[in-house]
Amino acid sequence: MALLARLLYDVQKLDLEIDAAERESQTLRGRFGETEDLRTARQASASREEERKNLAARLRSLELDLGEVEDKIKATEKALYQGEGQTPKELASLQKEDGFLRSRRGEIEEQALETMERLEEASRQAERLRQEYEKLEATWKKEQGGLQAELEKLKDQFQKLQDKRAKLVAGIHPDALDAYEELRKRKGRVAVALVEGGICKGCGVDVPPSQQNEILRGEHLVHCSNCERILYMETQ
């Protein structure tokens, strides 16, 4: 019996370590998955790339329009210079058409130039954002790998603690274990309190000498009169 409080105290040490390992494991699990930074960087990169594509498509379309207008201008010029047999009215109409086409060409060229400048800027930014995202992603992947390794280590540690605990509790009467578990639930995970300098370390209240002797005799479990915890004293 002298051993019981000590055994329970040792079980509690393991249980506190197991609790800590569980908390740590939860913290690690919480860090799995994408970060807000990574998501934001990916969205920024994707939306700039989208803009770049749209501008490139617009430029292609303007270049096609320009080609068409050029062809029409050539055809009109040809008609004007081979102008034999045309009435003055037909010639005037061709000249008007030529003027219209040339001003249309000017407009398209201006738009194409502006689009080209915007495309260059968008391409530069898209490239910069893509590189930023890739850098961030590489760091993140490395971190996630590190987390995985830490978690594996913790799992190992957890298993070892559980094995140790199983061996230890095998030598404890089930009733004593139940009492321990029940107290632990009610007393903030600490069921066994050490008595040091005549004081219960669970609640800070004095343990009278007669009770200290009772604990040292170890004939039965002694509970703190204030906090109800099982008292344990280390023999010198």
Residue 199 found at the interface with Zn ion (CB under 5 A):
no
**What DSSP assignment string belongs to 42-111?**
HHHHHHHHHHHHHHHHHHHHHHHHHHHHHHHHHHHHHHHHT-TT--HHHHHHHHHHHHHHHHHHHHHHHH
Residue 200 found at the interface with Zn ion (CB under 5 A):
yes
Residue partners of 180: CB distance under 8 A and separation at least 6? 8, 11, 12, 191, 192, 230
For Zn ion, which residue of 108, 112, 224, 230 counts as binding (CB under 5 A)? 224
- Minimum CB separation of residue 221 from Zn ion in Å reads 14
Q: Contact region for Zn ion (CB under 5 A) — 26-34, 125-133, 198-206, 214-222?
A: 198-206
**What is d(CA 209, CA 206) in angstroms, rounded to the nearest whole number?**
9
Q: Contact region for Zn ion (CB under 5 A) — 12-20, 27-35, 65-73, 201-209?
A: 201-209
For Zn ion, which residue of 202, 211, 230, 233 counts as binding (CB under 5 A)? 202
For Zn ion, which residue of 176, 227, 230, 233 counts as binding (CB under 5 A)? 227
Please give the helix or strand (H or E) that residue 29 lies within, else none.
Answer: helix 4-30
Q: Contact region for Zn ion (CB under 5 A) — 2-10, 68-76, 110-118, 192-200?
A: 192-200
For Zn ion, which residue of 86, 111, 123, 226 counts as binding (CB under 5 A)? 226
Query: Which amino acid would we find at residue 71?
Result: D
> Measured from the CB atom, is 9 or 133 closer to Zn ion?
9
- Minimum CB separation of residue 11 from Zn ion in Å reads 19
Buried b or exposed e, range 101-127, using 16+ CB within 10 angstroms: beebbeebeeebeebbebbeebbebbe
**What is d(CA 180, CA 172) in angstroms, rounded to the nearest whole number?**
11
> Measured from the CB atom, is 46 or 190 closer to Zn ion?
190
- Minimum CB separation of residue 203 from Zn ion in Å reads 3
Q: Write out the residues near Zn ion by the rule CB under 5 A.
A: 200, 202-203, 224, 226-227
